[in-house]
Amino acid sequence: MQTQERLKPVKDASHLYEVERRARHAERPGFRISELQLSPTQTVPWHFHTSISDTFYVLEGEMRLFLQNPKQDVRLGVGESFVAIAGRPHLVTNAGKTSLTFLILQGVGEYDYVPLV
């Protein structure tokens, strides 16, 4: 079993992974709504958030979420959603052959992104 090293939290993770498109639809203290588009080969790497949850809502394509503590493998299609609670490590992948577009509602609390390696 490989141990994971916790890295320092960052306030902006956009430089840590590539996506086809990234947009912010709303932001206020303690809450934000972002839209991401991933190609079939792109992922949002393993990470967690200290005090906020991620609510994923799929607009187009197919999403596959891998989670830890406990381990879970979740597949979402258009119109489906899932919440990764604060502190729970997760990785987001595109499970389809076309682009995946999804919303992420993040809050309530201060945003951070803690990468895992």
Q: Classify strands 53-60 and 21-28 as parallel, antiparallel or unpaired.
A: unpaired
- The structural domains of the chain, ordered by start, are 21-115 (2.60.120.10)
Q: Report how far residue 3's alpha carbon sits from residue 85's, in angstroms, rounded to the nearest whole number.
A: 22
Place 94 in a pLDDT band, splitting at 50, 70 and 90: very high
- 64 C-beta neighbours (distance < 10 Å), count: 16
Report the share of the chain in percent with pLDDT over 70.
95
pTM as predicted: 0.90
**Residue 8, pLDDT score:** 83
- The b/e string for 82-101 (b: 16+ C-beta within 10 A; e otherwise) is bebebebbbbbbbbeeebbb
Lowest mean pLDDT among 6-15, 25-34, 63-72, 100-109: 6-15
Place 14 in a pLDDT band, splitting at 50, 70 and 90: confident
